[in-house]
Each structure stands twice: as C-alpha cells, then as structure tokens.
Structure 1
C-alpha cells in the first residue's frame, strides 16, 4: 500500500476509502503552503488487534489549475503502517 502514489480522483478516493475502512484517527497539525503546492502535517493513530500505529506523516498535494492533481505521502513509520493496514 505504501509507496504506490495514487494519481487522479478515482485512485485517491479508492485509497482513502480503503484506509478509512480500518478506522484510523487523523489529527491535522499544520497546513504548509508554497507558491504552487501545499502540504499537510498529520498525526495518525490506529489499532487493529494487537497492532498499534502511532506515527507522523506529511501529505504533499501537487496542484494543477487550482485543483489537487497528485498526492504524495511521506511516513515516519512505514513498517507500522504496512502492519496496521495489511
């Protein structure tokens, strides 16, 4: 799941629905803006049985014509994310 880079609205929505189906808790920490793009700083926590996820992540949104064209997420705990959402 990690490192696949969803592109286009349908892929982004499908990926988001899959992650949401596991019941994670997201806390938005900061919205960071550049001249052409934006990024979200988040805290992510989830529990599935004995597996616990507690990580920080950054989601970079690449904009085209004022709309999100691509989303790339950088994780602090790739192994934990894969274990929790496998």
Structure 2
C-alpha cells in the first residue's frame, strides 16, 4: 500500500500507466465535449474536487452534483478550460491545463495542474494546483 494526497491506496486502486493515461484522455474528451453522461460515468460517487483560493469557485466540492455545479459556475464566468496534456504515473493521472477567460473588466490566463486519484477505477479526488492564486481570486470574485 502507498499514500496519495493523504489517502491510503490499496493495490486494487492501482492501474498500469497506460490505463491511467486512457482514463485521463477519456476525462479530457468528456470535459472538452461537455458530455455530462460520459463525465458522470468517470466520477466516483464520493468524488471531491479541491481548488485553492478564496473566491466563488474555490474550496472542496463533494459529490458528483457539486462537481457539475463547479463546472457550471466556471462556465458562467466565461472560463475556457483547455486540457493541454495528460500524464500518468503509478497511482494517479495529472492533467496540465491552460485556462483563459474574460468577464467584465477581469481576465484570466493561467497554467495549472489537476491530479486525478482513483478508487474502484473511477475518479475519487481531483486536486488542483494553481500558478497564480491571486489572479484566480480576482477573476472569480464573489
């Protein structure tokens, strides 16, 4: 057993890097295509998405519906999420993203990373790492 993001991973949670990469590509296709049925099938019922900052979309979203609410809130702010690369390790997937958007007098242009941890072959935790938290806070003002 190992640990990832403070959680114990059991051997059954591990997949070969090719399978993890395929899951990451499936996530990218579902998110890019705005395909809620496909995306929902990838998410574990107990999924969490941790997003740093102090703004309208930050914090921990718990559950599939909360994940979709966060995506909807980001879209309402005019955010364009572009997954540039999918990388896979032993226990998780990392997505390298470039998010851009314009809202009133605010703009965002940020590169970031989100990791996807699995349980039972589905995404149970998304952890996002930002390059500019202040820009994110300014863009997603409450």
TM-score range, shorter chain: 0.7 to 0.9
Aligned to 1:65: 120
Task: Judge conservation of contact 1:46–1:52 (CA < 8 Å) in 2.
Answer: yes
Give the counterpart of 1:31 among 86, 91, 109: 86
Number of equivalences: 85
Give the drift of 1:34: 1.3
Shift of 1:14: 1.4
The Cα shift of 1:22 comes to 1.2
**Gap regions ≥5 residues in structure 2:** 1-50, 53-58
Unaligned runs of 5+ in 1: none
Larger Rg, first or second structure (1 or 2) = 2
The residue that corresponds to 1:22 in the other structure is 77
CA-atom RMSD, angstroms? 1.3
Match of 1:7 in 2: 62
Q: Is 1:54–2:109 an aligned residue pair?
A: yes
